[in-house]
Structure 1
Amino acid sequence: MGTPGTFPYDSGLHPAGYTSRLWTMRQLAGLRTAAATNERFRYLLDMGETGLSLAFDLPTQLGLDPDAPAAEGEVGRTGVSVATVDDLAEVFDGIPLDKVSVSFTINATAPVLLAMWIVVAEESAVDPVKLRGTLQNEMLKEFLARKAFIYDLDTSMQYALDVIEYCTGELPGVNPVSISGGHAREAGADAALEVACALASVDAYLGGMVDRGFPVDEVARRFSFVFGTDMELLKEAAKLRVARRRYAERMRDRWGATDPRAMKLRTQVNTFGSALAFQEPLNNIVRATVQAIAAILGGTQSLHVCSFDEALQTPGPLGARIALRTQQILASETDLARYADPLGGSRVVEQLVAELGAEVDDWLRRIEQRGGVVECIRTGWLEGEIEQLAYLDPGPVVGVTDPQVSASEDALVAAERHQVVGHGRAVRRPAAEDELRRVRDDARAGRNVMPALIDAVRARATIGQLREAMQPPAREERA
Structure 2
Amino acid sequence: MTGVPGQFPYDAGLHPAGYRSRLWTMRQLAGLHSAASTNERFRYLLGMGETGLSLAFDLPTQHGLDPDEPAAAGEVGRTGVSIATVDDLAAVFAEIPLEKVSVSFTINATAPMLLAMWIVVAEESGVDPATLRGTLQNEILKEFLARKAYIYDLPTSMRYALDVIEFCVRNLPAVNPISISGGHVREAGADRALELACALANTDEYLAGLAARGLDVDTVAARFSFIFGTHMELLAEAVKFRVARAMYAERMRDRWGATEPRAMRMRIQANTFGSALAHQEPLNNIVRATVQALAAVLGGVQSLHVCSFDEAHRTPGRLGARVALRTQQILAGETDLARYADPLGGSAAVEQVRLALTAEVRQWLDRIERHGGMSECIRSGWLEAEVETMAYANPGPRVGVPDATPSAAEDALIAADRHTPAAIPPRTVHRRACAAELRVLRDDALGGRNVLPALIAAVRARATLGELRVAMQPEPLSPIGGH
Change (3 A) 1:71 1:416: closer
Give 2:431's match in structure 1, choosing from 403, 428, 431. Answer: 428
* Paired residues of 1:277 and 1:400 also in contact (CA < 8 A): no
Q: Deviations over 1:119-175 (max 9, x none)?
A: 000000000000000000000000000000000000000000000000000000000
SS at match of 2:39: helix
Distance 1:143 1:449, change over 3 A: same
CA separation of 1:40 and 1:414: change in aligned 2, threshold 3 A = closer
- What pairs with 1:252-401 in structure 2 (closer than 5 Å)? 252-401=253-402
CA drift of 1:400 comes to 4.4
Distance in 2 (alpha carbons) for counterparts of 1:316 and 1:209: 41
Aligned partners of 1:416 and 1:190: how far apart in 2? 33
- The residue correspondences of 1:63-82 to structure 2 (distance < 5 A) are 63-82=64-83
| C-alpha distance in structure 2 between counterparts of 1:376 and 1:415, whole Å | 36
- Contact kept, 8 Å, 1:200 with 1:372, in 2: the verdict is yes
CA 1:345 to 1:412, structure 2 compared with 1: closer, same or farther past 3 Å? Answer: closer
**Aligned residue number for residue 207 of structure 1:** 208
Q: Please give the residue correspondences for 1:28-177 in structure 2 after superposition, counting only pairs within 5 Å.
A: 28-177=29-178
Shift, 1:404, TM fit: 3.5
- C-alpha separation in 1, matches of 2:382 and 2:214: 31
| Structure 2 counterpart of 1:446, from 448, 466, 470 | 448
The question of whether the paired residues in 1 share the 8 Å contact of 2:310 and 2:317 is answered with yes
| TM-score of the aligned structures, taking structure 2 as reference length | 0.95
Q: Indicate how the Cα distance of structure 1 residues 437 and 402 shifts in structure 2: closer, same or farther if over 3 A, else same.
A: same
Look up the equivalent residue of 2:142 and give its one-letter code: K
Instruction: Provide the C-alpha distance between the structure 1 equivalents of 2:422 and 2:362, rounded to a whole number of angstroms.
Output: 52
1:270 partner letter? N
Offset from partner CA, 1:404-432 (integer Å, 9 cap, x none) = 35999x999559712xx22xx24223x11
Number of positions where the alignment pairs a residue of Structure 1 with one of Structure 2: 471
Q: Tell me the CA shift for residue 391 of structure 1.
A: 1.8
CA distance in 2, matches of 1:292, 1:317: 19
Report whether the alignment pairs 1:224 with 2:231: no
Contact 2:132/2:174 (8 A) holds in 1: yes
**Residues 1:411 and 1:176: Cα distance change in structure 2 (over 3 Å):** closer
Gap regions ≥5 residues in structure 1: none
Match 1:457 to one of 456, 459, 470? 459
Identical-residue share of aligned pairs (%): 74
Of 401, 413, 424, 1:417 maps to 424
Give how far 1:2 is off.
Answer: 0.5
CA deviations on 1:201-246 (whole Å, 9 max, x unpaired) are 0000011000000011000000000000000000000100000000
The equivalent residue for 1:187 is 188
Structure 1 residue runs of 4 or more that deviate by more than 4 Å after TM superposition: 405-408, 410-416
Counterparts of 1:186 and 1:427, CA distance in 2: 37
Q: Is the alpha carbon distance of 1:316 and 1:411 closer, same or farther for their aligned partners in structure 2, counting shifts above 3 Å?
A: closer
Match of 1:3 in 2: 4
- Summarize deviations over 1:364-415 as a string: whole Å, max 9, x none: 011111111111111011111111111221100111424435999x999559
**TM-score, length basis structure 1:** 0.96
CA 1:95–1:368 in structure 2 vs 1: closer, same or farther (change >3 Å)?
same
| Paired residues for 1:463-474 under 5 Å | 463-474=465-476
Deviation at 1:475, TM superposition (A): 8.2
User: In structure 2, the residue corresponding to 1:368 is in which secondary structure?
Assistant: helix
